[in-house]
């Protein structure tokens, strides 16, 4: 996960600088999206994984109860 965050952080720096120099707002927007992905990917994936495991445990418990 560290390398994924590092990749998106580097892409943020590159896209933002390139978009600023070339005066292209869409490239700068892509840089901002890379920053959002870099900071939000780990908590999002952790939450999805915990929710999935919790639903599996609950399904096993309900099957045992019957």
Q: What is the pLDDT along the chain (66 residues), one digit of tens a residue?
A: 889 899 999 999 999 999 999 999 999 999 999 999 999 988 999 999 999 999 999 988 888 876
Can you give the pLDDT at residue 54? 94
Q: Could you tell me which of 46, 65, 42 has the C-alpha nearest to residue 54? A: 46
Can you give the pLDDT at residue 46? 93
DSSP assignment of 21-49? HHT-HHHHHHHHHHHHHHHHHHHHHHHHH
Q: Where are the domains of the chain?
A: 2-65
Can you give the pLDDT at residue 66? 62
Can you give the pLDDT at residue 61? 86
């Amino acid at each position: 996960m560290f390398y994924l965050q590092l990749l998106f952080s580097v892409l943020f720096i590159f896209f933002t600088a390139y978009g600023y120099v070339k005066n292209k707002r869409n490239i700068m927007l892509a840089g901002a999206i890379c920053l959002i992905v870099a900071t939000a990917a780990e908590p999002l994936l952790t939450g999805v994984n915990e929710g999935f495991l919790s639903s599996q445990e609950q399904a096993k418990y309900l099957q045992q109860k019957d």
